[in-house]
Chains A and B, each alone.
Chain A
Amino acid sequence: MSHELTFQEEEYSRQLDFALWRRILRHAGRYWKQLLALSGAGLTVATVDVMLPLVTAWIIDEAMASGVTPRLWTYVVLYFGLCALLCSCIWLFIELAGQTSTGIAYDLRRKGFRRLQELSFSYFDVRPVGWLVTRLTSDVTKLSSLMPWFTLDLVWGSFLVLGITGAMFWLNWQLALAVLVIVPPLSIASVYFQKRLLASSRNMRRTNSMITASFSESISGVRTTKALVREEENLNEFRSLSTAMHQHCLRNALQSAVYLPIVVTLGSLGVGLALWRGGVDVLGPDSTLTLGVLIAFMQYAALFHMPIEELARRFTDLQAAQAAAERIQTLLDTEPEIQDSAEVRSRMAATAPHQAAGASNLAEDGCADTVRRIEFRNVSFWYKPDEPVLRSFNLTVEPGETIALVGATGGGKSTIVSLLARFYEPQEGEILIDDTDYRERSLHWWQSNLGIVLQSPVLFTGTIRENIRYGRLDASDAEIEAAARLVNAETFIRELDGGYEFDVGEMGSRLSTGQRQLMSLARAVLADPRVFILDEATSSVDTETEQLIQDGINKVLSGRISFVIAHRLSTIRAASRILVIDGGEVVEQGSHDELIRERGRYHDLYVGQFARQREAERLSGGEETGMAGA
């Protein structure tokens, strides 16, 4: 299924999208208790933050006015008590944020993973695996950690701003007005710089990923680079990237280097104003302002930038996470193109109780649990309407038949088996199983009846045994070993360190291609499917393994309905029917002998393949194929 497709990552959106965030917030619904408690903690912390300068003022005024009194010690103890309360709130909100963020992350990953298991292949065709992985890893992390901290800082920040303002007005409204002068410039500076910082850190990230790509290219293309003597030019191109990176990093650093002094200077202006206006008041004839209160004002002025800065930062975080939120929400919202129809689902619901009781020998969708005939009726398929991949394809197959599909790459062979497996559905025509359109059957039932061996065999991390068991999860060890024996895989398995318990590595990387092919055959055999689909590998393996694989295939195919995209002569010859596919159409059809006699496309294809194969065998000194070997 090769077709020209490119995938572009979408750009970040600029405006806050409230509708989106409301939907995202729903994922946090289960944690409303934690979020509520988090808000409580934020409120308490803000209150304590407002109280501490106040208590300091009481301490100073008491100490200056009355000396060492029990009341002074009460205030000191109160101060320490507030500190302790603050610290327990800190403990509490980190704990709560932990529960919320890990919980939301877990839920989002579970939902996202499930959705990925349901989506159609057309979804995966255009999206690189790495891109999808990032959705469930860093995007989810970004979003899930944002939610509790945003909640906390929103509550803490706004209450602290309100609290400080309120306390100042309560203490002395004229002085409060003087100090509040700094708030507008503080807010403007914070919002402005946080936005700039966000932009420059995005540039940093983007350039960084380009640098990674560049390293990756320089390593995988090192031989070509050497052969073309491109070292200097490559380095120059890399230099321009690393210079860009340098500039973005420096810009980012300079932005915060400017921002922090501005905020601190504004804070000092507040302190200075408090000292000036307060000092005048203290020295005034009917002074009501104590030195303690003056000091409290100076502390408030110095404190003010913290909540404002934090609020500005959290809102930019929100903006930064919006792209991640969008991508996750879109993933969760994407409906699989191929899924059971409502009618099938209701039938399945009706059948389930009977099945559970064991009182039914019907399939899970309430139809007969048999596959007696498969029919393609006028099936057409395309990715783009003006470029049909398959045109009015007709075929009827019955048990015991092996259909070999041969022809050039891109002719439509893979499309036929993908349609059969319902990885895609035909745009026109229908595929019938025992005279019922397969869209009226359960997807799960149909795919459980298939055994598919792909051209490039994929194994999963785990042991040999686990990988074979993937074909049928409740298979016993003896059955697994029997399947391995049947496809001639046991010989190599026995030689592995640990035999069936050998760890095959990531994607089976510790096995050779031939061994992986045998493994995927064994896996399919264990499933004991009614319909067998085999996409033969074209990659060459050594003659001995080739023979083993061939024997294995022959044993597997007998007695089932099978479809083979065939490259090996013996598989082709053994097929009950051979379909030569080209340009999305069947150009020749018949048994091997019939088609050879016709001396058409198949004849040429076969003779060419035969010569190629024999030449390869002679070159590598292996046993030769002959007509008698059919």
Chain B
Amino acid sequence: MKHMSAQFRAIWQLMEGQRLRYASAIAALVVASCFLYLAPLVPQIIIDGVLTGSAEDASGFTRRAVEVLGGEAFLRGNLWLPTVLIVIVTAIAGAFTYLRSRLSASACERIVQRVRERVYDHLQHLPCRFFDRAETGDLIQRSTSDVETLRTFLNTHVVEIGRALIMMLVPIPLMLMIDVRMTLLSVLLLPVIVGFSAFFFLRVKKAFRLADEAEASMTARIQENLAGIRVVRAFARQDHEEARFDQRNTEHRTCDYRLYRLMAWYWSTSDLLCMAQKSLVIGAGAYWIAVGTLQVGAYFYFITAVTMFIWPMRQMGRILTDLGKAQVALSRLDEILHEPRESVPADGEGMPAEPLTGEITFENVRFSHGEHSPVLQEISFRVPAGSSLAILGPSGSGKSTIVNLLLRLYDYEAGSIRLDGFELKELDRKFARSQMSVVMQEPFLYSKTLRENLRLARPTAHEEEIYEATTIAAVHESIAEFAHGYDTLVGERGVTLSGGQRQRVAIARALLQDPAVLILDDALSAVDTGTESIILDALRERAGRHTTILIAHRVSTVMHADRIIVLDHGRIVQQGTHAELMNAAGLYRRLWSAQHEAAAECEQSLEGDARGTPADRTTP
């Protein structure tokens, strides 16, 4: 029960701001059902009070109603009146039904829209640590299908439950007024019908789950086969694949067919129960008509009313069992929404008034992922505004972590990072980030046109500025070659750019932002050597415009930086200018010499061979 109340509380909270709409919807629903049940009352009154020709047998209620409508004699001459009445009453019921649907749909859609936007906004503000742990597919599932489940629940289930209950309750006073015996008889099988459907759906839950699983595993099979189609062909394994698919296909068919069989039993049985309820009314009513204690009009009214309220009740069991699904979806969404967001300093703090120059200082910075050994320790360096720093090191040495700390994608544990003398932790994250632009090794482009992607950082950029940036990034010509040029759509629904193209577009995007700090995190790894040096040269010409941090794993990329640090296992092992590092024995010099040794060793090997027999030359 505690569980249930928590469930209701969660739903109640969700309805915040829309409760009045829901209340009005319920009111409209009550009015609508009243009128809906009034409509068949008109034929009842006419039949019993006018057409049977024995008005004196009619119940007091009927006689009074006939009087209200103008008396028996008047009605006899004006039988069009009840027709108009029926249509008007039904139309009023229809108008309120429309109102009810409109109110509830609009309340539901507003709630769902709010939930969607809250989840979206929340996800964007969660720290990177959260995304390291989470699975993308699962998050998308929660943000879409779970929200959809919630929508179905609010839009269909809440409404259906309300409708079924009200449709059940509204006619009872009317029916009691007409005939007590018939009323009791009309609801006799109702508990059985609801009980049966709830019981049934609880029992077959597993079959539904199995069918879902069988479908998922069949889909996975197709997915894998198509993703690996080259391997399938390479080994000519088509027959084998077909046999393996056939297994899943058959399994899915079996599970699905089982569901159909269960549904066949469910619908036929529950229909039989409903029809039995109706037959009961028809049989008993006929007997009471025959013995003269029931009038034909009343009989008609009961048949109509039972038909109206019995079918919705049949759905109740299914809906009640579906409530569990909504509960699960809601709690899965809550899990996301309860994740703490990135911290934000108090209002007005952490936003220096002066624009930053881009001076960066690291002092004894330390960072680790959870309880593992530190990824970075004792990191200290200073980058004066406008100068450049290169970080060299093998993969896994912590180079990118330095960038992540600087961007405050992660928070450093000890030591201090200062930006223009401001402690980074005390600055507003968004402010700090807006002072830097970073190009990552695998840059992300949004599914927009190239122009829109480039403009993201500075929406006011002129065309010429865009071209200037793309020219420096050596990507202007490649873009111009696309059929749609700068209006080419990239990303999932558009053109797939190569890794090198993406990197260059991202560099242009960063340049366009013209930030205080420019960070290139292995951002030229997919660009060929020639283009790389063209871009580096162009960047060097802009020296002094921004502080540059350049991360790479090749000496040729970093040698021109004002200062170079060599990182290994999370520590700085060497630090200095190119000239200084060349004069010191150490990793940097050994890396530098690799280049020349390669050529020299090649020569040596040739001389060694020259003593052997000269091979035939093949001229291309």
Q: Is the CB of B117 within 8 A of A235?
A: yes
> Assuming the A-B contacts A59-B286, A94-B263, are A454 and B230 also in contact, with contact meaning beta carbons closer than 8 angstroms in the complex?
yes
Contact for B457 among A218, A228, A527, A603, CB less than 8 A: A228
Q: Is the CB of B241 within 8 A of A117?
A: yes
Which of A10-18, A101-109, A163-171, A319-327 lies on the face that meets chain B?
A: A101-109
Complex Cα–Cα for A292 and B229 (A)? 70
The interface residues of chain B lying within 8 Å CB-to-CB of A80 are: 275-276, 279, 283
Q: Is the CB of B87 within 8 A of A250?
A: no
The interface residues of chain A lying within 8 Å CB-to-CB of B50 are: 279, 283
The interface residues of chain A lying within 8 Å CB-to-CB of B282 are: 56, 59, 76, 79
Q: Is the CB of A257 within 8 A of B105?
A: yes
Tell me if A31 is interfacial: C-beta within 8 Å of chain B: no
Q: Which of B234-269 contact A (CB under 8 A)?
A: 234-238, 240-242, 245-246, 249-250, 252-253, 256-257, 259-261, 263-265, 267-269
Complex Cα–Cα for A302 and B444 (A)? 60
Tell me if B337 is interfacial: C-beta within 8 Å of chain A: no
The interface residues of chain B lying within 8 Å CB-to-CB of A620 are: 394-395
> How many whole Å from A454's CB to the nearest CB in chain B?
6
Q: Is the CB of B591 within 8 A of A618?
A: yes
Tell me if A596 is interfacial: C-beta within 8 Å of chain B: yes
Contact for B124 among A60, A235, A245, A471, CB less than 8 A: A235
> How many whole Å from B121's CB to the nearest CB in chain A?
5
Tell me if B516 is interfacial: C-beta within 8 Å of chain A: no
Q: Is the CB of A261 within 8 A of B98?
A: yes
Q: Is the CB of A283 within 8 A of B51?
A: yes
The A contact surface, by secondary structure, is helix
Complex Cα–Cα for A447 and B228 (A)? 16
Tell me if B369 is interfacial: C-beta within 8 Å of chain A: no
> How many whole Å from B539's CB to the nearest CB in chain A?
19
The interface residues of chain B lying within 8 Å CB-to-CB of A224 are: 440, 443-444
The interface residues of chain A lying within 8 Å CB-to-CB of B309 are: none
Tell me if B393 is interfacial: C-beta within 8 Å of chain A: yes
The chain A residue with its CB closest to the CB of B506 is A224
Q: Is the CB of A265 within 8 A of B222?
A: no
> Assuming the A-B contacts A212-B144, A220-B136, A283-B76, are A246 and B110 also in contact, with contact meaning beta carbons closer than 8 angstroms in the complex?
yes
Contact for A113 among B84, B125, B230, B245, CB less than 8 A: B245
Which of A354-362, A484-492, A582-590 lies on the face that meets chain B?
A: A582-590
Tell me if A124 is interfacial: C-beta within 8 Å of chain B: yes
Tell me if A458 is interfacial: C-beta within 8 Å of chain B: yes
Q: Which of A35-70 contact B (CB under 8 A)?
A: 56, 59-60, 62-64, 66-69
Which of B164-172, B195-203, B346-354, B491-499 lies on the face that meets chain A?
A: B491-499
Q: Is the CB of A109 within 8 A of B86?
A: no
Tell me if B407 is interfacial: C-beta within 8 Å of chain A: yes
Tell me if A478 is interfacial: C-beta within 8 Å of chain B: no
> Assuming the A-B contacts A227-B436, A447-B234, A614-B597, are A271 and B105 also in contact, with contact meaning beta carbons closer than 8 angstroms in the complex?
no
Q: Is the CB of B268 within 8 A of A213?
A: no
The chain B residue with its CB closest to the CB of A68 is B290
The interface residues of chain B lying within 8 Å CB-to-CB of A610 are: 598, 601-602
Tell me if A20 is interfacial: C-beta within 8 Å of chain B: no
The interface residues of chain B lying within 8 Å CB-to-CB of A233 are: 456
The interface residues of chain B lying within 8 Å CB-to-CB of A225 are: 124
> Assuming the A-B contacts A83-B279, A211-B144, A589-B620, are A611 and B253 also in contact, with contact meaning beta carbons closer than 8 angstroms in the complex?
no
Contact for A110 among B105, B143, B249, CB less than 8 A: B249
The interface residues of chain A lying within 8 Å CB-to-CB of B223 are: 129-130, 133
Q: Is the CB of B604 within 8 A of A458?
A: no
Tell me if A99 is interfacial: C-beta within 8 Å of chain B: yes
> Assuming the A-B contacts A254-B102, A470-B235, are A272 and B87 also in contact, with contact meaning beta carbons closer than 8 angstroms in the complex?
yes
The interface residues of chain A lying within 8 Å CB-to-CB of B585 are: none
The chain B residue with its CB closest to the CB of A291 is B296
Complex Cα–Cα for A267 and B609 (A)? 101
Tell me if B140 is interfacial: C-beta within 8 Å of chain A: yes
Contact for A137 among B215, B493, B616, CB less than 8 A: B215
Q: Is the CB of A215 within 8 A of B409?
A: no
Complex Cα–Cα for A616 and B557 (A)? 13
The interface residues of chain B lying within 8 Å CB-to-CB of A458 are: 227-228, 230-231
11 additional A-B residue pairs with CB within 8 Å, beyond A80-B279, A421-B233: A84-B275, A94-B263, A114-B242, A136-B222, A222-B131, A264-B97, A421-B234, A452-B234, A454-B234, A594-B617, A614-B597
A-B contact pairs, 16 of them (CB 8 A): A4-B482, A76-B282, A92-B264, A98-B259, A98-B264, A99-B260, A137-B222, A208-B144, A217-B447, A219-B136, A222-B123, A223-B128, A253-B155, A273-B83, A295-B296, A596-B605
